[in-house]
A and B are shown apart, each in its own frame.
Chain A
Amino acid sequence: MKVIIHRDSAVKEIKGSHTVEKALRILNIIPETVLVVKDGRLVTLDTKIEEDEEIEVIPVVSGG
């Protein structure tokens, strides 16, 4: 699957189909720190993403 990470403008590829949570763990992203969007809509962490699908990861942590 294709994972577009906003703020970093990074694009990652993960082999196979996984839940959103598993995909985030593979990329070493703590689920509490991001939102995940598929086809313009928010999806829950248990949503299964197929290998040919794409998700966007939006970081939410801000501070200073």
Chain B
Amino acid sequence: MRCLKCGQRACFEIRRHRAAFCQEHLIEHLRSQVEKAIKKFKMFSPKDRILAAVSGGKDSLALWDILLGLGYCTEGLYIHLGITSYSDKSHEMAEKFAFSRGVPLYTVSLKEIFGEGMEYIARKTSKSFCSACGLIKRYVMNITAKLGGFDAVATGHNLDDEAAALLGNVLHWQTGYLARQAPNMPERGGLARKVKPLCRLTERETAAYCVVKGIDYILDECPMSQGASSLRYKETLNLLESSSYGTKDQFYLGFLERGQRYFKQGEEEVELRDCIKCGQPTTAEMCSFCRQMERVGFDSLALKKALKELLSAD
């Protein structure tokens, strides 16, 4: 198989685009796909300051590298969840990347702030592990972006993540989520802008990008994600993709272009107000983060205090 651009031996094929590329042109192609998504969905401009949420995995490190390569001012946020040795290993990957590129990485450690990690917190709540963890991550991302004066939070969600989330939302007719699922969630009422610049790339492509660029990433999966429904949805979509190239792309990007409008009709925007404890946006009197931490027996304000110190120390 030959590279579409230069005719040299290809190292990677993208069947839905009926194309194959050598290393050099694969990097160029994947970067151009990210740039295309940033522009099409009006995510941010070259003047903006971006906070990349990094986990040490292939997607977030590819995201950070691509944004830096495209010239976007991007700093990193790592949330140390204290999950066995997995968190230490993934933190090491994120730090190694930041050091090699000479860019700032802010690390928020639950154990350092609260004395306990995610496993303890999840045990004390009635929620599932992933749900309790997701709530904390979303809160930390938002408050860091706000306190640090960032214009947007970028996450490494890729085409597979978004297509799997869409399949889950369709299977359960989550009409509210179907109306809101988007690669660009604009800033509103204290919520920072959230963007997903990798939404046009599959996870096979982000992994290939890391291998070709020599980016070390954590190969292990989060030990708490085993059996997650998103993995089953991904498996189903990959089976369909293997017999009909472009299925994931058409399902997700087609939904955004032609399907989502039907779910947006009649959807009312929920009013946001300030949490009585931490001041972060919420639909209730107290935000779900503060409520969750109260249930666990921790002072939620300790996080805000630690973040202020972290951001001012830089």
Contact = CB atoms under 8 A, between A and B. Distances in A.
Given A32-B242, A41-B11, A64-B224, A58 B160 contact: no
Contacts of B207: 35, 58, 60
A42 B211 contact: yes
B234 A63 contact: yes
B11 to A, nearest CB: 4
Which of B164, B203, B222 has the most C-beta atoms of chain A within 10 angstroms of its own C-beta?
B203
* Interface bin, chain B: 35 or more
Given A35-B207, A42-B11, A63 B164 contact: yes
B20 A44 contact: yes
B13 A32 contact: no
Given A44-B12, A45-B13, A60 B203 contact: yes
Given A30-B242, A61-B203, A44 B13 contact: yes
Contact of A64 (B11, B211, B228, B242): B228
B151 interface: no
A7 B211 CA distance: 15
A63 B228 CA distance: 7
A12 B103 CA distance: 41
Contacts, number: 79
A44 B1 contact: yes
Contacts of B142: none
A58 B20 CA distance: 19
B231 interface: yes
B221 A7 contact: yes
B242 to A, nearest CB: 5
B161 A63 contact: yes
A33 interface: yes
A1 B11 CA distance: 20
12 contacts: A32-B241, A44-B10, A45-B13, A58-B207, A61-B238, A62-B225, A63-B161, A63-B164, A63-B228, A64-B225, A64-B230, A64-B231
Interface of A: 6-7, 30-35, 37, 41-47, 58-64
Interface of B: 1, 10-13, 20, 23, 57-59, 130, 160-161, 164, 202-204, 206-208, 211-212, 219-222, 224-225, 228, 230-231, 234-235, 238-239, 241-242
